[in-house]
Amino acid sequence: MTLAMKVYQAFDRAIIQEIPTDDGKALEHKLQMAAQAFADKAGWLPTHERMAVLRKTSVLLETNRDRFALMIAREGGKPLPDAIIEVTRAIDGILNAADELRNFGGKEIPMGLTAASANRWAFTTKEPIGVVAAISAFNHPLNLIVHQIAPAIAVGCPVIIKPASTTPISCIELVKLFREAGLDEQWCQTFLTDDNALAEQLATDPRIAFLSFIGSAKIGWYLKSKLPSGTRCALEHGGAAPVIIDRGVDVDRVAASVVKGGYYHAGQVCVSSQRLFVHEDILASFTEAFAAKVTALRVGDPVLKDTEVGPLILPREADRVEAWIKEATEQGATQIGGGRLSETTLRPSILLNPGAETKVSRLEVFGPLTCVYGYSDLDAAINIANSLPFAFQASVFASDIAVALKAARHLDASAVLVNDHTAFRTDWMPFTGRRQSGYGVGGIPWTMEEMADDKMIVFNHVS
């Protein structure tokens, strides 16, 4: 009997669609198909064909922009204006993978530097690493998929993609566009399941050469520990991104930026601005300006064009965030805003000075909440910002260049945004977590490098 998983609208939990799931037999068939495609080197797609497929898919996606944006809003709960931006980024990301192939190659290795290396000519070429297993997350149900499968297709890796069980429709529809663009099935397949054991079986199969995982740190690090010898991986998890706000800044401008960084997609972003360290000289004025903007955010159904904050992905996530807020307020934090609009939808909250041991100060909230802390000593603020076991993106707002440079140098982060919020990202820049926040480097050109091997060829040209 074929099982199905129900896909719900994030906002009102209405059923969108029931999708047949794959079982173990289907997984084995997909793995065999991908492994055979990679083993047949004579059948590898030439670079120009891969470029053509990517370019055509990008055009097809642009034609379907509004349809995909509505899908994202319904299944993922991202407000429609932001969903349109996600599709626009995905269109450009696919083109980015195609364009990167113009410069994706090897290099000459100097020879003749010693007598023993005389009369030799050496150079490297790029080869696909092998079959890629990609396990994705719900929060950007189209663009994350693009970041995982477009690089694989670009470099010539067969890829099997498992979308989040809460948001599979965008992935399914994107893969259909790749088929329409001329890509044969063995080069890009979906694996649809809500069975964690089957997902683990995909990730850890010895035929998989590279695992791309976006999601829970607990699951990602567990899967990495189970990978066969030789299997490479990239893990993208989250953090509790710190923001340092120095005195002397334009309080209104900074508040507007941090509202976007903290409440975009209801805070369900791995680099969402969560912990705001504000200089005591401007703490009162910043908090007033920030609170006014946060409480004015339009919260509701994400398919409406004026919605700014939508739901969390599941009712249990809204329950969790509410419980964390309650813990912090019971221990002395002051709450601004908040409240529950629906089973999955929370109104945005601010917590003032939650305790250092509360969950909101130690863990990734992944909800519409930011925490504001006052500071007087920059070194102390940086030390607290760096005190957690994960690190991803951080930011500093400062008009004093010395403060900006000091924070940029000393914040433990893979990227420090100066006078911008922590959730800023372009799809061609490197994107990587440090320590428990991740492993490997994301970003489309960087992922292409991770999914390729260098092969060196050495000619002995003794005449």
Return mean pLDDT, the chain.
96
- Give the pair of three-digit tokens for residue 335: 């709450």
Domain boundaries defined on the chain: 4-237+437-460, 241-426
Confidence at residue 463, expressed as pLDDT on a 0 to 100 scale: 63
Residue 83 half-sphere exposure, CB side, CA atoms within 13 Å?
30
Whose structure tokens read 């994706």?
104
Confidence of residue 2 (pLDDT cuts 50, 70, 90): low
Question: How many other C-beta atoms are found inside a 10 Å radius of the C-beta of residue 294?
Answer: 24
- Reported as a single tens digit per residue, the pLDDT across 23-44 is 999 999 999 999 999 999 999 9
Contact assessment for residue 134 and residue 162, using Cβ atoms and an 8 Å cutoff: yes
Alpha-carbon distance of 190 to 256, in angstroms, equals 39
CATH architecture classification, 241-426 = 3-Layer(aba) Sandwich (3.40)
- Please say if the pLDDT value at position 166 is more than 60: yes
Contact assessment for residue 451 and residue 441, using Cβ atoms and an 8 Å cutoff: no
Confidence at residue 75, expressed as pLDDT on a 0 to 100 scale: 97
- Reported as a single tens digit per residue, the pLDDT across 364-404 is 999 999 999 999 999 999 999 999 999 999 999 999 999 99
The residue type at 460: N
Confidence at residue 445, expressed as pLDDT on a 0 to 100 scale: 96
- Reported as a single tens digit per residue, the pLDDT across 402-431 is 999 999 999 999 999 999 999 999 999 999
Q: Would you say the C-alpha torsion 311, 314, 319, 324 has a positive or negative sign?
A: negative
Instruction: Give the active site residue among 86, 236, 308, 364.
Output: 236
Alpha-carbon distance of 35 to 208, in angstroms, equals 8
- Reported as a single tens digit per residue, the pLDDT across 272-324 is 999 999 999 999 999 999 999 999 999 999 999 999 999 999 999 999 999 99
Which CATH number applies to 4-237+437-460: 3.10.250.10, 3.90.180.10, 3.40.50.720, 3.40.605.10? 3.40.605.10
C-alpha distances out from residue 180 to 93, 160, 192, 381, Å:
18, 18, 20, 53
pTM of the model: 0.93
Catalytic residue check, 270: yes
Confidence at residue 365, expressed as pLDDT on a 0 to 100 scale: 96
- Please say if the pLDDT value at position 1 is more than 50: no
Residue 342 burial by CB count (10 A; 0-12/13-18/19+): exposed, middle or buried? middle
Confidence of residue 3 (pLDDT cuts 50, 70, 90): confident
Catalytic residue check, 127: no
Alpha-carbon distance of 277 to 380, in angstroms, equals 10
Instruction: Give the active site residue among 270, 364, 371, 450.
Output: 270
Q: What is the mean pLDDT of residues 169-188?
A: 98
